[in-house]
Amino acid sequence: MNRQGRPTQPVASSAPEGLTTFSGNKGLQLEEALIFEIGTTQTTGVDLADLPANAKSRIGDLARTDEIGLPGLTEPETMRHYVRLSQKNYAIDSGIYPLGSCTMKHNPRLNEKMARLPGFSDIHPMQPQSTVQGALELIDTLAHWLKVITGMPAVAMSPKAGAHGELCGLMAIRACLEARGDARVRVLVPESAHGTNPATAAACGYKVDTIPATEEGRVDLEALKAKLGDDVAALMLTNPNTCGLFERDIIEICEAVHGAGALVYCDGANLNAIMGKVRPGDLGIDAMHINLHKTFSTPHGGGGPGAGPVVLSETLAPFAPLPFVVVTDGTFSLAEYAPEAEAHGAQPFGRLTAFHGQMGMFVRALSFMMSHGSDGIAQAAEDAVLNANYIMASLKDIMTASFEGPCMHEALFDDRFLKDTDVTTLDMAKAMIDEGMHPMTMYFPLVVHGAMLIEPTESESKQTLDAFISTMRQLVEAAKAGETERFTGAPHFAPMKRLDETAAARKPVLRWTPEENASHSAAAE
């Protein structure tokens, strides 16, 4: 395939079939042992002077009594080890990352530079507030623009990520209901919601009641209305939902829920598709978390760090958790205790986390907003939807789209096109690795059999999308042509071949020890 994404003739390998190298390396793709296997615990890369015979420990009885077990390496060995590992890692900086429902967009380097400015990168959460006035002002400014973008009157900035934000929203809803003496026991969750929604509701002590989807992949409004009652605390829905579709009945849904005395929580993980175009507050939403690490340019993946501020309606605003930023005579401070919060008209449900959010995420998010402006933010949403629909239109003749019509931010396909090929969704994903592309999200959402969920975001150019589309078309044609081994044996060219994923999930090897080394290597093979 050339740079324009058009197919080219494959380059024939000059190596004899089945040839392997003595070292295990393949050209510049080097094998890399574990760091414990490279170094030894008997040596170190630093020469240290021997302690005097009469030297006393400066840490008293806290001194360790056993070997720490860390390998000693030279500086070149250490550098090469981690550089080689980094070359085996797929990242947004190396290619398209089409994970659906994850919004793996490019993070502008300007925002990374801003986050590293002294005064942001080197502050400590326990510094005197008089020494971090700029940081507090930045948090307050970011909070203002989050409220403007969503059309909501209040925002809690401390949640660390999406699921944490869901917890915040549900706790605010519970506090609100308890304050009015109206304890309720059920939370409604549509099939098309994110999987963490029912888990969060259960963690807050609610019984989860599922709402089915229509054949169009959206909330069944009549089924929802039938399940509403005076014991329902809230509805937790995702909009746009995990099928990549906008819930067209959202206003009527919110009116029905409010009519039953319940509240509406919206999962904001897919805000990237509607930011600058739709304000959730105008739709009737009471609480919504915002994944700054998806929508507003912060590192995503690897387990963190993240940030999940929660915007709140007028009904829920008094119940926002502590702490929050207040401004008095031009001085910024954090309302840390309930008496201070009550002085500002609030009834906080408590403290959600030790400190006030994630500063690096706040800086990057505000930098993203200020550099794009309102028009740029809206264009990013438009481009994300355009890219997804371009993929949908380019592949739906050869793959099977799960639902009719255009999508929002992600294109959803199922596995019907693979019928009678002996190739599965998992096989297709593994073959994509051989093509140098990260697989799309597989088998999610659960309402679609063999789901393949593709979200290109606004970051990808038409050239990149064309290359992705061309590769997918050729893989589908190969599967339909009976080239089964190409898929069932994939990946053939990755540093590690196909693993036993069931064993990896049920019998994970979480810590390397010399005794486990042999069995660990056998499992990896």
Q: Looking at residue 476, which CATH number applies to its domain? A: 3.90.1150.10
Amino acid at 59: I
What integer pLDDT is reported at residue 101 of this predicted model?
86
Same domain, 210 and 120: yes
In sequence order, the 6+-apart residues with CB closer than 8 A to the CB of 416 are 400, 449, 450
Q: Are 44 and 508 in contact (CB under 8 A)?
A: no
* 84 plus 184 within the same structural domain: no
18 against 382, higher pLDDT: 382
**How confident is the model over 28-53, as a mean pLDDT?**
83
Residue 326 lies in a domain: yes
Alpha helices (H) along 396-461: 425-434
What average pLDDT is seen over the chain?
89
Residue 9 placed within a domain: no
Q: Report which of residues 16 and 147 the model is more confident about.
A: 147
Residues 283-304: tens digit of each pLDDT: 999 999 999 989 998 777 655 6
Q: How many helices (H) and strands (E) does the chain have?
A: 17, 13
pLDDT mean over 319-330:
91
The answer on 121 and 151 residing in a single domain is yes
In a domain? residue 421: yes
> Is there a single domain that holds both residue 168 and residue 196?
yes
Q: Nearest to residue 489, comparing CAs of 438, 421, 430?
A: 430
Region 7-17: mean pLDDT is 51
Q: Per-residue pLDDT for 7 more than 60?
A: no
Domain that holds residue 82: 27-40+72-88
Q: Measured between alpha carbons, how far is 322 from 168 in angstroms, rounded to an integer?
A: 11
Task: Check whether residue 267 and residue 413 sit in a common domain.
Answer: no
Q: What are phi and psi of 478, to 5 degrees?
A: -65, -40
For residues 436 and 333, state if they share a domain.
Answer: no
Same domain, 203 and 286: yes
Q: Please write the tens of the pLDDT for every residue from 235-272.
A: 999 999 999 999 999 999 999 999 999 999 999 999 99
Looking at the structure, do residues 391 and 342 belong to the same domain, yes or no? no
Residue 330 pLDDT exceeds 60: yes
Query: Which of 335, 367, 399 is where one domain is finished?
Result: 367
Count the Cβ atoms, other than its own, within 10 Å of residue 81. 18
Spatial CB neighbours of 177, under 8 Å, sequence gap ≥ 6: 183, 184, 233, 263
| 48 found inside a domain | no
- Total domains in the chain come to 4
pLDDT at 513: 77
Return the top range by mean pLDDT from 42-46, 331-335, 400-404.
400-404
Domain C-terminal end among 367, 396, 427: 367
Query: What is d(CA 37, CA 417) in angstroms, rounded to the nearest whole number?
Result: 46
- Please tell me the predicted confidence (pLDDT) of residue 525: 47
User: Is residue 46 included in any domain, yes or no?
Assistant: no
Q: What is the pLDDT of residue 339?
A: 65
* Distance (Å) of CA 165 to CA 160, 325, 352: 7, 18, 10
The whole-model pTM stands at 0.88
> In this structure, are 304 and 409 located in the same domain?
no
Q: Cβ of 73: how many Cβ atoms within 10 Å?
A: 18
Residues 431 and 475 sit within 8 Å (Cβ to Cβ) = yes
- Determine the average pLDDT of the residues in 401-416: 97
What pLDDT band is residue 4 in, cutting at 50, 70 and 90? Answer: very low
d(Cα 258, Cα 254) in Å, to the nearest integer? 6
Same domain, 322 and 390: no
437 within some domain: yes
Query: What's the Cα-to-Cα distance from 118 to each of 15, 114, 290, 368, 514, rounded to whole Å?
Result: 53, 9, 27, 19, 43
507 in the same domain as 413: no
Residue % of the chain over a pLDDT of 90: 66
Span of 25-39, 95-109, 492-506 with lowest mean pLDDT: 25-39
Paired with 209 in beta bridges are 188
Which CATH number fits the domain that encloses residue 265? 3.40.640.10
Q: Tell me, what's the pLDDT at 463?
A: 96
Asked whether residue 183 falls in the same domain as residue 142, the answer is: yes
Classify residue 208: in a domain, yes or no.
yes
The reply to whether 17 falls in a domain is: no
